[in-house]
Amino acid sequence: MSYDTMRGGVLGIPPWRGSSIVYDRAWMILEHLRGNGYGTGRNPVYKETRRVEQDMATLISALEQGHEATVREQVQHNLRFLSAQQLAATSR
């Protein structure tokens, strides 16, 4: 499944503690990246673009499977893509 066919939301959020916050941040990161021209399945020329798109693919796969450790790790690794307002909106 690719990002283009996925939709974020409250459906399918696993029951582990804090999952709704982590999933909200993950969807915000993916929205930001997609809005700035990144996408999985392309053949990027630049090394940084390739790395970001590999991170996107890993995050999408982890979201689909509900793999807590990978989702948390990817969100933590990519927090730089979120604004202060987005972080505040998803904090407790």
Residue the block writes with tokens 């796969």: 61
What are the tens digits of pLDDT across the range 69-83? 999 999 999 988 888
List, for residues 4-23, the tens digit of each pLDDT value.
Answer: 444 444 456 777 788 888 89
pLDDT number for residue 87: 85
pLDDT at 74: 93
Give the Cα separation of 59 and 71 in Å (integer). 6
79: Cα separation from own chain's centroid: 10
Q: What is the pTM of this model?
A: 0.77
Report the alpha-carbon distance of residue 84 to residue 64 in Å, rounded.
27
Cβ pair 16, 68 in contact under 8 A: yes
Please give the structure tokens belonging to residue 2. Answer: 């690719």
